[in-house]
């Protein structure tokens, strides 16, 4: 099973600042990586797939990068609605898909 | 309206069985892989099971392998999860999720979830 490790566990950021979240895979997942956003009491929302492709309707301030084992989600200028928990997920190792443990972005 | 609606959750004793259902509407169900993802209270997301568009490609997490079985009925636009030998650690909100493609990738549509509580 590929283990996905996200860091930091919690990131404190002021509105308007840049946020950078990391996701590391225990072995290569090529570019088969997705990012999700989950706000309290809500269902997860797909942000990025294929490491860097934004899903439909996702604002351009969200960007994904990386390949093989190292990935990054960047939020260029945090808006109030961006404070949430973010998860990465690999889909390279079918039939075993795995999520990272999540990174919480909170208001500083 | 494009949506997924789960049902079948509830309180069940350890060792018993439960069958979850997910009704899909508003899209061509038979064109997409589907998944079950769970979230224990206050915890992160855990992929449980996935199934390709034609049921030929099936996968289960190690934590449920041999106990849970995913299936689908494309004629009924429905996804199922048969859960046997339930354990306390299976307690979670179970989401049905639509894949972005016909084989397993990422999930672009989620239901609201159905809660499963395993307790004596």
Tens-of-pLDDT digits for all 108 residues of chain A? 999 999 999 999 999 999 999 999 999 999 999 999 999 999 999 999 999 999 999 999 999 999 999 999 999 999 999 999 999 999 999 899 999 999 999 988
Q: Which two tokens stand for residue A60?
A: 């351009």
Please give the pLDDT value at position B103: 87
Q: Give the nearest chain B residue to A35 (CA atoms).
A: B106
In the prediction, which pLDDT does B102 show? 85
Beta strands in A14-82 (DSSP E): 19-25, 33-38, 45-49, 53-54, 62-67, 70-75
Any residues with CB less than 8 A from the CB of B65 and at least 6 apart, and which?
A: none
Chain A CB contacts of B62 below 8 Å: 1, 96
Buried b (16+ CB within 10 A) or exposed e, B67-90: ebbbebeeeebbbbbebeebeeeb
Cβ contact (<8 Å) for A94 and B106? no
User: How far is CA B54 from each of CA A25, A45, B69, rounded to the nearest angstrom?
Assistant: 30, 25, 15
At B104, the pLDDT band (50, 70, 90 cuts) reads confident
Interface test with A, best of B6, B41, B100, B106 (most A CBs within 10 A): B106
Q: Which among B44, B100, B106 has the least Cβ separation from residue A101?
A: B44
CA dihedral (A84, A90, A94, A95) in degrees, to 10, reads -40
**% of chain B beyond a pLDDT of 70:** 100
Classify B74 as helix, strand or coil. Answer: helix
């Amino acid at each position: 099973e590929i283990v996905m490790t996200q860091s930091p566990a919690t990131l404190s950021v002021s509105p308007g600042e840049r946020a950078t979240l990391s996701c590391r895979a225990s072995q290569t997942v090529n570019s088969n990586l997705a990012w999700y956003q989950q706000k309290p009491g809500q269902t997860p929302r797909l942000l990025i797939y294929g490491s860097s492709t934004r899903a439909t309707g996702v604002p351009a301030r969200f960007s994904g990068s990386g390949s093989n084992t190292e990935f990054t989600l960047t939020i260029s200028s945090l808006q109030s609605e961006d404070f949430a928990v973010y998860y990465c997920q690999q889909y390279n190792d079918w039939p075993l898909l795995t999520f990272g443990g999540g990174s919480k972005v909170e208001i500083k | 309206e494009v949506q997924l609606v789960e049902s079948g959750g509830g309180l069940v004793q350890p060792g018993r069985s439960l069958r979850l259902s997910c009704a899909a509407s508003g899209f061509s169900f038979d064109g997409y892989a589907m998944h079950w993802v769970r979230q224990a209270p206050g915890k992160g997301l855990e992929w449980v099971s996935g199934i390709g568009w034609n049921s030929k490609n099936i996968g289960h997490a190690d934590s449920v392998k041999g106990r849970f079985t995913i299936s689908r009925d494309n004629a009924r636009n429905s996804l199922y999860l048969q859960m046997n030998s339930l354990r306390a650690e299976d307690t979670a909100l179970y989401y049905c999720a639509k894949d972005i493609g016909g084989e397993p990738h990422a999930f672009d549509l989620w239901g609201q979830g159905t809660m499963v509580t395993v307790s004596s």
